Amino acid sequence: MNALDCLYSWSASAVTHLDLFGSLGLCLGFTAGIMPCRDRILLASAACAACFGAHYLTLGALTGMAMCAISVMQSLVSLHCVGAPGRSHWVRPLFAASTLAAACLTLVTWNGWPSTCAALGTLLATTARLNEAPQAMRLLFLGASLCWAGHNLLVGSVFGLTCDVLTILGLAIALLRALQTRPADPAAPDYVGA
């Protein structure tokens, strides 16, 4: 086998794993993790979920695809409505309804452990999207990413698993960066006894 045959063989096997939506989702997942503010985290997260929804459709992972559709909706609603005066009264009922829809879709598309991981990841991410504090949001997204890593490992999504590792790395960097920039507590005054 010469070098040209080897290169052709490698490219033919790589093509089966190349997926535009998986590649875009991978990039956006890491980007969402390192974004500095809540709005950008949510926007990148919505774009990432849209890409992975299409990716999971090509893999036949229907629970993952359904959870991604719910994630896109929740991220966009949270982006525009959570914390906005006069509009947030209907957000929690909408998120409760979408969580119920996620549970129903999980049952309809049930595939064992992958479905369990996707549903738990969606529940944690839903809680994150309702949070107004970026650090708390990142911690919940970290838990969600760990659940999605289980889903992606079980369904064989190389892009999804790589994205989860990068997202976890990005979230860890952002969490540590925020801890380092937090101002130190002022020193308590020394009281001298009389």
Question: How many angstroms separate the CA atoms of 153 and 166, rounded?
Answer: 14
Question: How many angstroms separate the CA atoms of 51 and 60, rounded?
Answer: 14
* Number of independent structural domains in the chain: 1
50 within domain boundaries: yes
Q: What angle do CA 127, 30, 74 make, to 5 degrees?
A: 30
Each residue's pLDDT expressed in tens, for the chain with a length of 194 residues: 676 675 566 555 555 555 788 888 888 988 888 888 889 999 999 999 999 899 888 888 888 888 899 999 999 999 888 776 666 778 889 999 999 998 998 898 888 999 899 889 989 999 999 888 889 999 999 999 999 999 889 988 888 888 899 889 989 999 998 888 766 555 544 444 44
4 within domain boundaries: no
28 within domain boundaries: yes
154 within domain boundaries: yes
86 within domain boundaries: yes
- The secondary structure of 43-104 as a DSSP string is HHHHHHHHHHHHHHHHHT-HHHHHHHHHHHHHHHHHHHHTT-TTTGGGHHHHHHHHHHHHHH
Give the structural domain span for 37: 19-181
129 within domain boundaries: yes
Environment class of residue 187 by beta-carbon count within 10 Å: exposed (0-12), middle (13-18) or buried (19+)?
A: exposed
194 within domain boundaries: no
Q: Pull the structure tokens for residue 66.
A: 């359904």
2 within domain boundaries: no
Question: How many angstroms separate the CA atoms of 65 and 88, rounded?
Answer: 27
Q: What is the pTM of this model?
A: 0.76
Distances (CA, A) of 5 to 2, 47, 159: 5, 38, 26
